[in-house]
Amino acid sequence: MSVSKDYILEDLIRNSEDLLKGLEQIDEENGFLPEPVEKEIKKDIQAEEINSIDINSNLKSDGYTELSISQDEMTATGDFFPPSEGEGFAGFEEGKPIELEAVELIIRTKGIVTGILWDSISEAIFKCNTERVPVNDVIIARGKQPKNEIPAHLEIEKNLLEDPGKADTERLRIDYREMSPFVLVKKGDVLARVVPRVPGTLGETVTGKSVPFKTEKIKIVKPGKNVILDNGYARASCNGRFIVTEEGFFVSEVLEIQGDVDYHTGNIDFPGDVIIYGMVKDGFKVKSGGSVYCQRTLDASEVICRGDLIVNHGIIGKKKGVVKVNGKIDAKFIENCYVEAGGSINVSTSILNSIIHSLGEITMGEKGIIVGGKLFAQNGVKAAQIGTRVGPKTEIHCGIDFSIQQKLEWIRDKNIELAVKLQQMDAKIKAAATEELKVKLGTVRDKLMKGIHKLNLASASLVNYLDKDEDAKVVVHRSAYPGVYIEICHISYILAREMHACSFKLDKTIGRVVVESIKG
């Protein structure tokens, strides 16, 4: 009679080895963590902190579709929005899914008859209904472009002038969703070249209209700033925005967006500075290799920049919004957002229900208030008001490097998991029926022990870099309310009563957070 396989034991071994992945790369001398482990820490911590903010919506909505035709009628684009999900009780009703027949009716109403991409439409409807996520900028019909007759001349590269939706997004580093007023290029990209005569052919719009070809009148265009000539080619001498004017063409190291970041621009991924004169609409991402200046409100789905972030109005995250900035942040307000800044954060009016991390100081305006969420500020916090009499819990953490704190918390949780597996492994070894099985389990046990040892070394090394500013203070110019939690270099203080015009600082001689009046 054959012995049945011990699936519980096999599962224990497999889970133990999964937990150990990446730990073998830890440097035992200084305990620094390898890059994959660093990324896992950031991902786990960010997800945990974002989920700590509870924002619900009980609005019912049916799935629906919006179609638009480009100005030249050569492209029709669809945006598909999912129905609301039911929760099984009153106030949370499930909406109706999108149906293909409804989309067909809209297509007929729009007069679209040519180049309809039914497979793309069906895939978008299926994904939207089943995954319950918006599916935007789906090309649902394409017209046939006319081919103009072109005499031999120096011509700007076609991919820089045609519908950006057809462009190579890896090359241009931007996700175009519709026609856009700008095109991005990399250093060394060919901008123009000599081409032979091209004969013309007729085209057809998505509404069935014939599009005649023309014989183009070629105008001599001159290369300008950040363009070099190389054996008959005009190439970009830097990364930036490609711009064509009446006089010629050039590359700008600053991307200026005159309107909003929305379906007309798509997600922005620019190597230099970005100036946005309109709003960043909900659901759109902005990435910059430099600084970002936004003149109006920023609905932050994801904003990442290596420089500073300046927002004239406020930043609204709607819980899932993520902002990561290497430099400083200036904004009027921050609401329901996850924020990381390598520098200081200046907010003039309010920080509400947000997770804020700063390796500098968080400074509020003269009447600035902080209500709800968690703030981590290495060099302290200054505000007019912290907390409210009946509002959500507000936490202030100062004096520590939040990135080191996140790593230490991840190591702690990983060590707990490994210790549990080690305990289970010891029990299995004790009950093992054969010497061969004991050796097999012992090998896994040794790996678990080594993993715990490496994590302990890493923790011991990292803790030396945790406390950065023992002189950090929390300064409240007006009121701080009961229930506010303040922590300076791991020494905590919970307000038991309402306080006014005071500062909280660490007294190193007694190892406590003390309160001082700032009146006068």
Taking only the tens place, the pLDDT of each residue in 507-520 is 988 889 999 998 75
pLDDT band at 90 (very low <50, low <70, confident <90, very high): very low
pTM as predicted = 0.57
Tell me whether residue 496 is in a domain: no
More confident residue, 59 or 319: 319
Instruction: Decide if pLDDT at 42 tops 80.
Output: no
The pLDDT value given to residue 160: 82
DSSP string computed for 198-227: B--B-EE-TTS-EE---B------EE-TTE
Instruction: List the structure tokens of 455.
Output: 């994590």
pLDDT band at 211 (very low <50, low <70, confident <90, very high): confident
Last residue of a domain, one of 236, 252, 268: 252
Tell me whether residue 185 is in a domain: yes
Domain count, the chain: 4
Q: Are 371 and 312 part of one and the same domain? A: yes
Instruction: Decide if pLDDT at 475 tops 50.
Output: yes
Tell me whether residue 293 is in a domain: yes
Tell me whether residue 148 is in a domain: no
Q: Are 264 and 359 part of one and the same domain? A: yes
Last residue of a domain, one of 142, 171, 206: 142
Tell me whether residue 515 is in a domain: no
pLDDT digits 0-9 by tens, 22-38:
777 776 666 666 777 77
| Domain span including residue 31 | 7-37+404-465
Q: Are 97 and 235 part of one and the same domain? A: no
Instruction: Decide if pLDDT at 484 tops 70.
Output: yes
pLDDT digits 0-9 by tens, 99-149:
999 899 999 988 999 999 999 999 999 999 998 899 999 999 999 888 888
Q: What is residue 467's DSSP assignment? A: B
Q: Are 349 and 244 part of one and the same domain? A: no
Q: Identify which of 257, 251, 326, 341 has the alpha carbon closest to the alpha carbon of residue 289.
A: 326
Instruction: Decide if pLDDT at 179 tops 70.
Output: no
The pLDDT value given to residue 440: 87
Tell me whether residue 275 is in a domain: yes
Task: Check: CB of residue 345 under 8 Å from CB of residue 324.
Answer: no
Instruction: Decide if pLDDT at 377 tops 80.
Output: yes
Last residue of a domain, one of 116, 142, 168: 142
Q: Are 131 and 162 part of one and the same domain? A: no
Q: Are 312 and 337 part of one and the same domain? A: yes
Tell me whether residue 177 is in a domain: yes
Q: What is residue 85's DSSP assignment? A: P
Name the residue with tokens 């406390």. Answer: 467
Q: Are 270 and 392 part of one and the same domain? A: yes
The pLDDT value given to residue 398: 93
Task: Check: CB of residue 381 under 8 Å from CB of residue 375.
Answer: yes
The pLDDT value given to residue 460: 81
Taking residues 351-376, report their average pLDDT: 94
What residues pair up with 105 in beta bridges, in sequence order?
none
More confident residue, 200 or 462: 200
Taking residues 331-340, report their average pLDDT: 94
The pLDDT value given to residue 454: 86
Tell me whether residue 18 is in a domain: yes
Q: Are 395 and 268 part of one and the same domain? A: yes
pLDDT digits 0-9 by tens, 247-292:
788 888 888 888 888 888 888 888 888 999 888 887 888 989 889 9
> Which helix H or strand E contains 19, and what residues bound it?
helix 7-20
Q: What is residue 280's DSSP assignment? A: B
Q: Are 414 and 284 part of one and the same domain? A: no
Q: Are 221 and 270 part of one and the same domain? A: no
